[in-house]
A = this chain, B = another copy of it.
Amino acid sequence: MGSLTDIGVAAGINIVSALGFLLAFAVLRIQPINDRVYFPKWYLKGTRSSPRHLGSVFSKFVNADLSTYIRFLNWMPAALQMPEPELIEHAGLDSAVYVRIYLLGLKIFVPIAVLAFILLVPINWTSGTLENEKSLSYDQIDKLSISNLGKGSKRFWAHIVMAYVFTFWTFYVLYREYKVVTTMRLRFLANQNRRPDQFTVVVRNVPPDPDETVSEHVEHFFAVNHRDHYLSHQSVYNANILAGLVEKKKGLQNWLVYYENQHAKNPAKKPTMKTGLWGLWGKRVDAIEYYTTAIEELCKQEDEERQKVITDPNAIMPAAFVSFKSRWGAAVCAQTQQTSNPTLWLTEWAPEPRDVFWPNLAIPFVELSVRRLIMAVSLFFLTFFFMIPIAIVQSLANLDDIERMLPFLKPIIERNSLKSIVQGFLPGIALKIFLILLPTILMTMSKIEGHTSLSGLDRRTASKYYLFLFVNVFLGSVITGTAFQQLNNFIHQSANKIPEIVGESIPMKATFFITYVMVDGWAGVAAEVLRLKALVMFHIKNAFLVRTERDREQAMDPGSLDFGTTEPRIQLYFLLGLVYAVVTPILLPFIIVFFSLAYLVFRHQIINVYNQQYESGGQFWPDVQRRLVIALIVSQILLLGLLSTQEAEKSTVVLLPLPVLSIWFHYVCKGRFEPAFIKFPLQDAMVKDTLERANDPTLNLREYLKDAYLHPVFHKNDMYELVAIDEEEKNPLVATKRRSRMNTPVDSKFNSSSGTNEGEFNRMPPP
């Protein structure tokens, strides 16, 4: 346990480092050379081009206008200025709803913190049990926590009452927020322009038919069973080889453009290259000629492969995107069961075209169940056996043990300032390193589970990650110090002992979690805004690799909100806040600072930086709500356990209804709001259909939907806009334009082999 001094030092370090990050950010963001790192979203929107200075070469790279330095914190109010409806239009509903999670944190914890500081802190402080028991070593911070009450104290009633107050306040805020988000989603869906996914349903597990191809089978099935509504369908091709060829051709085309640029700059000299590895060995040839031939070659190969994919019946997967004449027809098909065998002809809403995860479209039902079983078992092992290394590192971080093991280090360790630094930092960092390894593994597991949309994959990954964080960061940190093999312990403990053990160590871990909030939360958020990795990578790429305008655009890497990893981390703070609200309220201000800072930073990021890969319309909210309620229930059970060790057993019976009420609250909210995130109501579909029929009676829907769900490799073989690379550095640093001129969403990094650039492209003949 750290003393108040330890916390002070850790807080100091973290505040300084956070401020350092923020200052660095404030300075770096106004340098023209970094403009594409800190404002990529505006570039993608097409409302900003590279800053140009009429002045010196120097001013192309460094901002010499001192007045801008004075206003270096301007970005903070600017981040808050954009009103929510505009934010939704600008960054999408997913992002707008996502930042509401941070706001929700403030809504829950600010009033709770105020109440706790007015009522609980004085009650704890004046109890003085710790002072009386001289045998115990205690910290100042423990005097503010529930530990300061003696066993069997009457003052516990205050905590019980506050547990009820906090719970009901949380219910109220959660219910209201769920309602607001639901309304936002419904309004968003209602206001959306015509989009292909509104008319389209993805059908999986099309059964094989001896007489018909998959495509014919799909057509006949839906023409019969949705007689008045079926419009058309799009088969799904297994186009992995083709995708590889397209990717390769794109690389060659890039080089071609590069050499053509070179030639244009210096028409006298024909650019040459070597044909060997990385252009270092081999015969020297005319570069433009070489690439032109190579591309032609590849085009032929590609055409052959394309023909093969289209004509080969084995390349057609037993899945299809089926489009309907109206949203009503699609809503009906997505929500109903098609045949008496519920494992065939599975229908669900098609994700947005850019949200589709193509490789998973053709997994049969039984294989899917087997995969999920294996992944569930793997997740269990991953969660419980990954813990062991963390525990080892953490026990190393216990300096007293190190002293005992390695006595020669004693003089170094005993120097007070160092000890504080190490004890403040090490445990948090040890955890942090482990956590970086994880999301990729979890995402792979979700992919194996067979979800068909990127948004679905993100949501599943988030669930897994939350389980992991809960067991390993939360429980692991609370328990490991006292008992090593958690799982084993838990199995051997009685059902009412588990909350007692965890609950009892909760107050003692407050210091650790305060440090964790500062290291992982404050500094983490400040680092997020600085985008150090993106900054470095951009400049490296810019210096060595950028050949064309398109290259520069790709080097930009705006990134996106990574729901799968960031949301579970926020949930951890909610969990900490709810657990410590009654026990050690001193933790709450740290969490509130985190939520405020994060809200500010992420609002700035979604406005200026991130480019979402897909738009799911806030579909993740039910998951957020569920995990919040879980956190609430965990906090209630731990409080129960804690109080029952304090010889206040009879009064704790009063706490028993809380978890029951919370579970009930969860089901009420689920029943009331969740369907809005899963189903599309027929009334809303009918309204939109009717409006559209009135506004646009001549619409040719078949033409509109024709290629929407074509596999991306068939889509476009685009050439890039041949913008001379020099042009773009002539623009000055323009003020951010808030009005977007672009309505069509940009293709995701994942699916796009092309982006939305116009150019020559071959449309695929309809299959």
Which A residues fall within an 8 A CB radius of B? 182, 186, 221, 224-228, 331-332, 335-340, 342-343, 365-366, 369, 373, 377, 490-497, 660, 664, 667-668, 671-676, 679-684, 686
With both beta carbons as reference points, the residue of chain B lying nearest to A185 in the complex is identified as: B340
Q: How far is the CB of A287 from chain B (nearest CB, A)?
A: 58
> Which residues of B lie under 8 Å from residue A221 when comparing CB positions?
683
B495 and A493 contacting across the interface, CB-CB below 8 Å: yes
B340 and A683 contacting across the interface, CB-CB below 8 Å: yes
Residue among B226, B342, B679, B680 making CB contact with A682, cutoff 8 Å? B226
> Which residues of B lie under 8 Å from residue A686 when comparing CB positions?
224-225, 227
B342 and A672 contacting across the interface, CB-CB below 8 Å: yes
Provide the bound-state CA to CA distance between A494 and B186, in Å. Answer: 47
With both beta carbons as reference points, the residue of chain B lying nearest to A183 in the complex is identified as: B340
> Which residues of B lie under 8 Å from residue A676 when comparing CB positions?
340, 342
Provide the bound-state CA to CA distance between A251 and B470, in Å. Answer: 67
> Which residues of B lie under 8 Å from residue A373 when comparing CB positions?
660, 664
Residue among B182, B225, B337 making CB contact with A679, cutoff 8 Å? B337
With both beta carbons as reference points, the residue of chain B lying nearest to A674 in the complex is identified as: B342
Q: How far is the CB of A501 from chain B (nearest CB, A)?
A: 11
Residue among B225, B332, B496, B682 making CB contact with A683, cutoff 8 Å? B225
List the 9 closest pairs (A to B, CB-CB), nearest first: A342-B675, A494-B494, A337-B679, A335-B336, A373-B664, A339-B683, A491-B496, A337-B681, A369-B668
A336 and B331 contacting across the interface, CB-CB below 8 Å: yes
> Which residues of B lie under 8 Å from residue A342 when comparing CB positions?
671-676, 679, 681
> Which residues of B lie under 8 Å from residue A660 when comparing CB positions?
373, 377
A681 and B340 contacting across the interface, CB-CB below 8 Å: yes
Provide the bound-state CA to CA distance between A493 and B498, in Å. Answer: 11
Provide the bound-state CA to CA distance between A504 and B725, in Å. Answer: 80
B365 and A671 contacting across the interface, CB-CB below 8 Å: yes
Known: A492-B494, A681-B338. A343 touches B377 (CB 8 A): no
> Which residues of B lie under 8 Å from residue A675 when comparing CB positions?
337, 342
With both beta carbons as reference points, the residue of chain B lying nearest to A672 in the complex is identified as: B343
> Which residues of B lie under 8 Å from residue A343 when comparing CB positions?
671-672
With both beta carbons as reference points, the residue of chain B lying nearest to A333 in the complex is identified as: B682
B369 and A682 contacting across the interface, CB-CB below 8 Å: no
Provide the bound-state CA to CA distance between A337 and B682, in Å. Answer: 6
> Can you give 14 A-B contacts (C-beta < 8 A)?
A221-B683, A225-B686, A337-B682, A339-B683, A339-B684, A342-B671, A342-B679, A342-B681, A365-B672, A366-B668, A369-B664, A490-B495, A492-B495, A494-B494
> Which residues of B lie under 8 Å from residue A338 when comparing CB positions?
681-683
Q: How far is the CB of A229 from chain B (nearest CB, A)?
A: 10
> Which residues of B lie under 8 Å from residue A332 when comparing CB positions?
332, 336
Q: How far is the CB of A404 from chain B (nearest CB, A)?
A: 32
Summarize A's interface: helix, strand, loop or mixed: helix
Provide the bound-state CA to CA distance between A681 and B340, in Å. Answer: 6
Provide the bound-state CA to CA distance between A402 and B126, in Å. Answer: 58
Provide the bound-state CA to CA distance between A497 and B182, in Å. Answer: 45
Q: How far is the CB of A426 from chain B (nearest CB, A)?
A: 33
B369 and A671 contacting across the interface, CB-CB below 8 Å: yes
Provide the bound-state CA to CA distance between A676 and B337, in Å. Answer: 9
Provide the bound-state CA to CA distance between A494 and B369, in Å. Answer: 32
Q: How far is the CB of A343 from chain B (nearest CB, A)?
A: 6
A225-B683, A494-B494 are known; give 20 further A-B pairs, CB within 8 A.
A224-B683, A224-B686, A225-B686, A332-B332, A332-B336, A335-B337, A336-B679, A337-B681, A337-B682, A338-B681, A339-B682, A339-B683, A340-B684, A342-B673, A342-B676, A366-B668, A369-B664, A369-B668, A369-B671, A490-B495
Residue among B186, B227, B228, B335 making CB contact with A335, cutoff 8 Å? B335
Residue among B227, B369, B495 making CB contact with A495, cutoff 8 Å? B495
> Which residues of B lie under 8 Å from residue A673 when comparing CB positions?
342
> Which residues of B lie under 8 Å from residue A671 when comparing CB positions?
342-343, 365, 369
With both beta carbons as reference points, the residue of chain B lying nearest to A224 in the complex is identified as: B686
> Which residues of B lie under 8 Å from residue A182 when comparing CB positions?
340
Q: How far is the CB of A475 from chain B (nearest CB, A)?
A: 15
> Which residues of B lie under 8 Å from residue A490 when comparing CB positions?
495
Scoring A497, A674, A679, A682 by chain B CB atoms within 10 A of each residue's CB, the highest score goes to: A682
With both beta carbons as reference points, the residue of chain B lying nearest to A368 in the complex is identified as: B671
> Which residues of B lie under 8 Å from residue A225 when comparing CB positions?
682-683, 686
Provide the bound-state CA to CA distance between A336 and B342, in Å. Answer: 16
Provide the bound-state CA to CA distance between A751 and B686, in Å. Answer: 38
> Which residues of B lie under 8 Å from residue A672 when comparing CB positions?
342-343, 365
> Which residues of B lie under 8 Å from residue A668 when comparing CB positions?
366, 369
Provide the bound-state CA to CA distance between A671 and B336, in Å. Answer: 15
With both beta carbons as reference points, the residue of chain B lying nearest to A498 in the complex is identified as: B495
Scoring A224, A225, A335, A680 by chain B CB atoms within 10 A of each residue's CB, the highest score goes to: A225
B339 and A681 contacting across the interface, CB-CB below 8 Å: yes
> Which residues of B lie under 8 Å from residue A495 when comparing CB positions?
490-495
> Which residues of B lie under 8 Å from residue A226 when comparing CB positions?
682
Scoring A369, A492, A667 by chain B CB atoms within 10 A of each residue's CB, the highest score goes to: A369
With both beta carbons as reference points, the residue of chain B lying nearest to A678 in the complex is identified as: B337
Q: How far is the CB of A416 from chain B (nearest CB, A)?
A: 43
> Which residues of B lie under 8 Å from residue A335 when comparing CB positions?
335-337
With both beta carbons as reference points, the residue of chain B lying nearest to A491 in the complex is identified as: B496
Provide the bound-state CA to CA distance between A340 and B181, in Å. Answer: 13
Residue among B224, B667, B674, B682 making CB contact with A336, cutoff 8 Å? B682
> Which residues of B lie under 8 Å from residue A377 when comparing CB positions?
660
Q: How far is the CB of A754 from chain B (nearest CB, A)?
A: 36
Q: How far is the CB of A544 from chain B (nearest CB, A)?
A: 51
Q: How far is the CB of A500 from chain B (nearest CB, A)?
A: 11
A336 and B339 contacting across the interface, CB-CB below 8 Å: no
Q: How far is the CB of A270 from chain B (nearest CB, A)?
A: 65
Residue among B224, B491, B683, B684 making CB contact with A494, cutoff 8 Å? B491
Provide the bound-state CA to CA distance between A338 and B332, in Å. Answer: 10
